[in-house]
Structure 1
Amino acid sequence: MRKMKRRDFAAFGLASGLALTLSPRPGQAGGNPMPGELRKAIERPPFAPVLGNAAGDITLTEFFDYNCPHCRTTVPEIRKLIGSDPDLRVVLREWPIFGEGSEFCARASLAALKQRKYWEFHSGLMAIKGRADEASAMRIASAIGPDEARLRRDMVGADVEEHIAETMALGDHMGLMGTPTFIAGNDGLFGKQSAADLARLMARARQDLS
């Protein structure tokens, strides 16, 4: 487990070229608050899966890849956290950094969102034992029943392209180490996390934003 340093956020510039400058909070000698533009880019993408309470008071964002073993083990921990925190909003950012199979699965899952099948698709891919790739994704599609022709069309749609491109840009510009990465408030965690680890992150985030 590695807690991301708050200065990691200072390196980020939005795709528009806007440079973001951080300044310490009043009474705080150390870390800096996340700029509003960056927080919006991370937490409020125009097209992304949202779990938990869509109107919750705090957002946890996970950057993940279907071929990341720790991402797979974190799924039940996220469920626990949502079950114990009724005011939690969770945003899933598809970050396919483990090759072509990961990218196909990310695109297929985001396309499934348009048919209201995202959670079934996501859970199915996270539960497989082998590599997540086109074959495994289409087996899950056959099992859960989205329109496969539409799924393949939507996989190359502009909103899917933009979600993946923006997530890649966020990861690069913030210098994220890999998957899974969790961000809430002004802090983040990298690597395998328990529900208790994530609950502590949320508690800090609520304190940051209060």
Structure 2
Amino acid sequence: MKFSLASATLASVMAFSAVGISAPAHALDDQQKKEIGAYIKEYLIANPEIMLEVQDALERKQSEARNAKASEAVSSNQKALFESKFDISLGNPKGDVTLVEFFDYNCGYCKRAMSDMDDILKSDKNIRVVLKEFPILGPESLAAHKVSNAVKLVAPEKYPEFQRTLLGSTGRANEDSAMEVATSLGIDEAAIRKSMEESPNTPQVQEAYSLANNLGITGTPSYIIGTEAVFGAVGADPLKEKIANMRTCGKATCS
């Protein structure tokens, strides 16, 4: 039979693996290795769906590892995540569930995800949403977030409207566009610039970067619910489900 030797050898290797024994390298000669390679190649070409199964398994394994890392980091950084002095929250300040959003003013997905936050805040009167500024999309983002930090310090009551207006605007957010939004809300430009000079947002950015590194966050938007991280603009319904789970079983994902 064409693949009899290769099949038999491959079966032997699989048998060793099944009982936890590794076949020694010298157990296969060059001809056997060639035949096994050819057999595996032909089998995969004939059954390419196996590669999709392998890819799915790899992605699940990577996701599980990423979630485990995030869960451990959340447990170790509760105050910085949920009660940081640098952040302002929306919704119910005494809500029974807190949702943290990492965002960048120049993140297109964050802009589209605004409707998700609107939906959640409108439909859930017992949710608290913490806005975690995470400028990772270049110098213009850093500049816009500097203005944003000054707005929080100078006129915190106007920050929610400022944040929503700037995030919802078209074009690149930068210092000029952020300042334009701030002054349109009646915030004094001189006061903002004085705050930017006297209280730069360096500690805030350092804290956000440190948290993101520990949590495995590399993009925006990303969310924290309970001890679980949610990566990407997943939509309102999956977030609502995790919020509901927090109230049902105390975890974002119930067993």
| Class of the TM-score when normalised by the shorter of the 2 chains | 0.7 to 0.9
Corresponding residue of 1:176: 217
How far apart are residue 158 of structure 1 and its match? Answer: 4.3
1:32-68 superposed Cα distances (whole Å, 9 cap, x missing partner) = xx42x42222111022111000111111000000111
Q: Is the 8 A contact 1:105 1:137 kept in 2?
A: yes
Match of 1:106 among 133, 145, 162: 145
1:124-147 superposed Cα distances (whole Å, 9 cap, x missing partner) = 211211111122112212311111
Unaligned residue ranges in structure 2 (runs of 5+)? 1-59
Match of 1:9 among 70, 75, 81: 70
Paired-residue identity, %? 35
Provide the rounded CA distance (Å) in 2 between the counterparts of 1:208 and 1:107: 36
2:132 matches 1:93: yes
Provide the rounded CA distance (Å) in 2 between the counterparts of 1:156 and 1:62: 27
**CA pair 196-10 structure 1, distance change in 2 beyond 3 A:** closer
Provide the rounded CA distance (Å) in 1 between the counterparts of 2:158 and 2:143: 16
Match of 1:40 among 79, 82, 95: 79
SS in 2 for 1:92: strand
Corresponding residue of 1:166: 207
Q: Is the 8 A contact 2:71 2:227 kept in 1?
A: no
One-letter identity of the residue aligned with 2:136: I
Q: Is the 8 A contact 2:71 2:228 kept in 1?
A: no
Structure 1 or 2, whichever has the larger Rg, is: 2
For residues 21-32 of structure 1, what are the structure 2 equivalents within 5 Å? none
Q: Is the 8 A contact 1:105 1:133 kept in 2?
A: yes
Corresponding residue of 1:67: 106
Match of 2:239 among 186, 192, 198: 198
2:247 matches 1:208: no
> After the TM superposition, which parts of structure 1 deviate over 3 Å for at least 4 consecutive aligned residues?
2-5, 156-160
The structure in which a higher percent of residues are helix is: 2
One-letter identity of the residue aligned with 2:166: L
Normalising by structure 1, report the TM-score: 0.80
One-letter identity of the residue aligned with 1:104: A
Corresponding residue of 1:15: none
How far apart are residue 120 of structure 1 and its match? Answer: 1.9
Q: Is the 8 A contact 2:100 2:132 kept in 1?
A: yes
Flag the structure with more relative contact order, 1 or 2, with Cα contacts below 8 A and sequence separation at least 6.
1
Unaligned residue ranges in structure 1 (runs of 5+)? 13-33
Q: Is the 8 A contact 1:186 1:205 kept in 2?
A: no
1:125-183 superposed Cα distances (whole Å, 9 cap, x missing partner) = 11211111122112212311111111122234547332221111101122213100011
Normalising by structure 2, report the TM-score: 0.67
How far apart are residue 108 of structure 1 and its match? Answer: 1.2
